Amino acid sequence: MTPLILSCRLREAAAARGVDLAGIQPLAGDGSERRFFRLPGESNLILLYQPRPPGNGVNENDSYFFIGRHLWALGVPVPEIHEYCREEGWLLLEDVGDRSLFGAVAKTRDENLILKWYQKALEILLHQQVAGKQGFNPAWCFDTPRITRDFLWERECRYFVRAFLQGYLGLEVGERDLAPDFAHLLARARPETETFFLHRDFQSKNLFLKGKSLRILDFQGGRLGPLGYDVAALLIDPYVNLSKKRQETLLQEYVKLLKARCFWASEKFEENYPYLALCRNLQILGAFAFLAKVKGKNQFVPYISPALSGLRQRLAERQGEFPLLERITENIELPKANGG
């Protein structure tokens, strides 16, 4: 791992905000190579450090800066960005605390409180989706500027096969074996029919509770895409593993909000949502498998089993639309470490 370099420019930027870098505190990271540090002092600041970010031309740090400033200006509750040093690969951000939605849900049995948190998350999400597309510049994206059929084929379907079925489980199955089901899935998901701002990882570990407000993190992968993907990311999130009944309740809450703000988009949303949720489910399994098997990040292993159970449930709900995927997932036995 690249050591943290406390440059003169970083020291000066911190000192100007009443922060002494001698008290810097490393924070637990996520699935990426980024590193985070809390800077105690008069200002509540987080240092995001990534000296070699991915991306050609525009890199991941650039996307964080540009998209973050864009969303902040629109009233989306992302952390305020105080300073960005592109040359050294760091940003100084507002500290939104340590209380993720994931952690908060795990510590309460108050069903009404949980429902309120998720309702607020859906309100923020819809505002982010609709307002965020206004003035959004695809040139800010370090990865790809929009979700397309080819994107879902590569990043969801093929990723599921390569990282989960082959890499994690060691199965002798290729993309061609599941191609008819994947083709049907992407034809029904129809990602190009809607264009809104898409976060791409809108789930409980990227939502933080600060006081009575909910804050949004990890938006640097934002791009244009369909409404349903981010809704699915929140509702089928295996970290919290919401019950089917609660997912349905929250889905109807979102539809009600959508009809009030963008009635014209609600019909397409309801048609495409189940298929975008399936795409997201494939991506989750591919990502967790890759992070666990290749990156050695075993903290993702316990969530593979609920993600697989969710996939089985969603396939069963489609009543035989995806016979190849159903057959292969029914026969999967996870390693015992997963509790499968």
pLDDT, mean of residues 101-123: 96
Angle at 5 between CA 30 and CA 100, to 5 degrees: 25
pLDDT band at residue 4 under the 50/70/90 scheme: confident
Structure confidence by residue, pLDDT tens digits, 212-236: 899 999 999 999 999 999 999 999 9
pLDDT at 336: 78
Structure confidence by residue, pLDDT tens digits, 174-204: 999 999 999 999 999 999 888 999 999 999 9
Instruction: Give the domain 101-338 fold.
Output: Aminoglycoside 3'-phosphotransferase; Chain: A, domain 2 (3.90.1200)
Q: The tokens of 168 are what?
A: 């994690």
pLDDT at 271: 96
Q: Where in the chain is the domain with CATH 3.90.1200.10?
A: 101-338
Average pLDDT of the chain to the nearest whole number: 94
Q: The tokens of 244 are what?
A: 């089917």
Q: Which residues are 81's β-sheet partners?
A: 93
Whether 33 has a pLDDT exceeding 90, the answer reads no
- Report the sign of the C-alpha dihedral through residues 286, 292, 293, 295, in that order: positive
Helices H, strands E: what count in the chain?
11, 9
pLDDT at 41: 76
pLDDT, mean of residues 312-319: 96
Share of the chain above pLDDT 70, in %: 97
Please tell me the distance from the alpha carbon of residue 117 to that of residue 49, in angstroms, as a whole number.
30
Structure confidence by residue, pLDDT tens digits, 258-298: 999 999 999 999 999 999 999 999 999 999 999 999 999 99
By the 10 Å C-beta count (0-12 exposed, 13-18 middle, 19+ buried), 284 is classed as buried
pLDDT, mean of residues 98-103: 96
Instruction: Give the domain 8-94 fold.
Output: Phosphorylase Kinase; domain 1 (3.30.200)
